[in-house]
Each structure stands twice: as structure tokens, then as C-alpha cells.
């Protein structure tokens, strides 16, 4: 059964129009078009913005962000996995849970808390097939993105990250609504129809 699912996924992947488009347009992954659609709908990017891309490997979101912010903007890709060089993108290789390391590396790049215009995350845990385990993993990643946004995001900035529908969804939304005055859920067309993934978009950070 697993082998049959794998074969079906490969066939579907090769026929996927977003995969073909990514190959033609030089993006590393079809996921770039999820971010492109979110930007078209929500106007996420601004010229000159500082953007943090969490769990960035293999780099498709960072590629799109680099083009979107222009030469005067900056994109920092953060991942514990190795990420091949991307022109115009600063890369930090470390675990997001090592907040002290992340902070030190960002300051080394000349980025100060409260200066970031957009925090992005297309991260997902390694899926086990156990819904409760996968939801717990997704919650941990969501909280990591939120914690980083609390420290580095400008008051008028935005946080966008992937989450799965399930038992932890409502709790994650409640956490966001405590920190942001505008929270919504979006699903781009480039997300596969059968996928449970959605994206939280949080704006206007509440100041304590």
C-alpha cells in the first residue's frame, strides 16, 4: 500500500502544473506559488522590508521574498538543515528553538528586535500518520514562529505560518489573537486540495 501511494505521489508530482512552472521560472519548489498567491491576496510584502523565513529549506519562499522586497530589502533564511546559497539571501543554519543563537546571529547581521516587517514559516513536522502526534508537532512549530515574532516583528508587521486543521487549531488561533489584533486563516489554491494545511495570517501586534 505504501509503495502504491508513493508511485501515485510521484505521478501526481510530475503532472503538477506548479511543479512544471517552478522548473521553468527557476524556483526551487512549487511552494513559492503558495506565497505568491498569499501576497497577491493579502499584500504582504513591501519594498525595503526585512523578512525572516523560518524553516526555509529548500528555499522557495526565500527566493520569492527576495524578489518581492527589492534590492533595498533583506531576507534572512533560518533552518537547522543545510540550505544551498541563494543570491541576496542571508542564511542562518541553526535550530529555531535555540533562541539565543538566533538572536546573536540576527544582531550580527545588523538586525534589531522590532525591525522585521514579515515573519514567514512554511514549516511542518515529519509526519507520523498519528493525528495527535502530528498536531503536537505542528503546535510546537507554530509557537516557535510566534515566539520569534514577539521579539523581532515590528508593531505593524505580519506573521504568516502553516498549520494543520485538527485538535490544536483553535488553541493556536487563541494564542495569536492575544498577541495580534487581526488574525485570519487562508488557503492558497497552490495547496493541494487533499492537504489539511492552512495558513494563519496575523497582523498588528498588540503592544504590552
Q: Which residues are catalytic?
A: 162
H-type helices in 70-130, by residue range? Answer: 99-108
Grid cell of 164 as nine digits? 494543520
Length of the chain in terms of residues written: 208
User: What does the CA dihedral 115, 123, 20, 4 come to, rounded to 10 degrees?
Assistant: 180
Distance from CA of residue 26 to its chain's centroid? 19
68, 54 contact by CB (below 8 A): no
Dist CA 88 CA 67 (whole Å):
9
92, 148 contact by CB (below 8 A): no
Dist CA 206 CA 84 (whole Å):
36
Dist CA 124 CA 93 (whole Å):
17
Dist CA 115 CA 151 (whole Å):
10
Dist CA 3 CA 98 (whole Å):
37
Amino acid at each position: 500500500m505504501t509503495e502504491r501511494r508513493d508511485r501515485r505521489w510521484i505521478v501526481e508530482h510530475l503532472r503538477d502544473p506548479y511543479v512544471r512552472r517552478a522548473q521553468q521560472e527557476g524556483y526551487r519548489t512549487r511552494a513559492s506559488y503558495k506565497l505568491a498567491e498569499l501576497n497577491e491576496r493579502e499584500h504582504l510584502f513591501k519594498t525595503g522590508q526585512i523578512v525572516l523565513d523560518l524553516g526555509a529549506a529548500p528555499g522557495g519562499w526565500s527566493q520569492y521574498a527576495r524578489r518581492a522586497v527589492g534590492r533595498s530589502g533583506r531576507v534572512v533564511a533560518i533552518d537547522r538543515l543545510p540550505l544551498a546559497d541563494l543570491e541576496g539571501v542571508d542564511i542562518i543554519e541553526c535550530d529555531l528553538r535555540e533562541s539565543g543563537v538566533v538572536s546573536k546571529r540576527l544582531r550580527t547581521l545588523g538586525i534589531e528586535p522590532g525591525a522585521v516587517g514579515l515573519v514567514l514559516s512554511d514549516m511542518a513536522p515529519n509526519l507520523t500518520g498519528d493525528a495527535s502526534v502530528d498536531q503536537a508537532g505542528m503546535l510546537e512549530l507554530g509557537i516557535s514562529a510566534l515566539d520569534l515574532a514577539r521579539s523581532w516583528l515590528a508593531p505593524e508587521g505580519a506573521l504568516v505560518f502553516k498549520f494543520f486543521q485538527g485538535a490544536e487549531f483553535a488553541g493556536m488561533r487563541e494564542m495569536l489573537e492575544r498577541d495580534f489584533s487581526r488574525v485570519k486563516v487562508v488557503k492558497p489554491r497552490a495547496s493541494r486540495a487533499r492537504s489539511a494545511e492552512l495558513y494563519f495570517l496575523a497582523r498588528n501586534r498588540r503592544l504590552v
